[in-house]
Amino acid sequence: MYHLIIDCDPGHDDIIASMVAMAHPETFDILGFTTVAGNQTLEKVTNNLLRVQTLLETDYPVSMGYDAPIIKALEVQPKAHGESGLDGPILPEAKRTVTGLHAIEFMKETLENSSEKVTFLCIGPLTNMALFLKTYPHLKEKIQAIAIMGGAVNGGNIQLKSEFNIYHDPEAAKIVFGSGAKVIMAGLEVCYAGSILLSEAEEANGRGRASQLFYDLMKFYGRYAVDRGWDRTAIFDMTPLIYLLRPELFETKEYEVHVELNGEYTRGMTVVDLAKTEDLIHPATVLWDVKREEFIQTLFEALDILDKRYQ
């Protein structure tokens, strides 16, 4: 059982990852969500999560975090996620509201009150996670793992060598990777390896409330691939979540991961030290590869479980 806090910037793939977690209460005791500015402003990503919870009739606590990176200016991503941050589905107005606690205060209270260690799923910029670790360092011992979607072994999706979540707040990422907490890194390469075929996503149409939300999300989110003539697209944020659920689908390696802060072309790059295999200091568990078919099957099984809740 993972006692889980999901730190996110919804974001289409953030919502899909969260739905997979919601479908498996036998594995994930979701303690709450914290939101962070990234794909869109803090207000927009928070409202998106509240509206999705209204649609899915869930009521997990939601606490708002930081509205900007530690040093960098906020750079939202309307191209990928739209002006709302969750363009595509028609969502009800939110009938839920936030806790009123700041995200790091929610994290603090949750860890202090939990008799078990807590796992973080961090699928947006790492601003909240980093500043929680800096503000309450004594609570690091209550952290089981920090599973992140971020970085890359070699690539980039926002800059030549930088992935969006890390690029958006490199200082925060450096704090998290260097914290000594157990970090699980789902970088771009493993996310691409688990890409969904656009034809597979089509199968979700009309199957049920959760599947329909997924289908409507993918209709907008998949445009990026359609416009480029690709037959598939990566649902980035569900990768670390499905690793927690089904680790046997993945190949992993242990490496030290450093974050570049100063390069003119490489600020926000994760430097995975492939040359160092001994005497590692704060190594991360780097997800290296995944069995694509079973990975995607896990997604559809989760959607089926959720659909049955609304029948």
Binding site for ligand RIB (CB under 6 A): 9, 11, 13-14, 38-39, 123-124, 149, 157, 163-165, 236-237
Q: Which helix (H) or strand (E) holds 190?
A: helix 188-193
Chain positions 226 to 245 lying near Ca ion, rule: CB under 5 A, are 237
β-sheet bridge partners, residue 121 = 6, 147
Residue written as tokens 């708002």? 64
CB of residue 165 to ligand RIB, shortest distance in Å? 5
CA distances from 124 to 14, 113, 264 (A): 8, 25, 23
β partners of residue 284: 255
Q: Which of these segments, 1-9, 72-80, 126-134, 250-258, binds Ca ion (CB under 5 A)?
A: 1-9
Stretch of 2-10, 28-36, 172-180, 250-258 lying at the interface with Ca ion (CB under 5 A):
2-10
Number of residues counted as binding Ca ion (CB under 5 A): 6
Tell the smallest beta-carbon distance from residue 169 to ligand RIB (Å): 11
In angstroms, the Cα distances linking 194 to 22, 48, 82 are 20, 25, 23
Tell me the one-letter amino acid at 220.
Answer: F
151 lies in the site for Ca ion, by CB under 5 A: no
> By Cβ distance, which residue is nearest to Ca ion?
11
Query: Does residue 124 belong to the site contacting Ca ion (CB under 5 A)?
Result: yes
CA distance 281 to 198: 40
CB of 217 to Ca ion, least distance (A): 13
Q: Does 14 bind Ca ion (CB under 5 A)?
A: yes
Report the residue number, 17 or 55, with the smaller CB distance to Ca ion. 17
Q: What residues contact residue 267 under an 8 Å CB cut-off, 6+ apart?
A: 159, 162, 167, 170, 260, 261
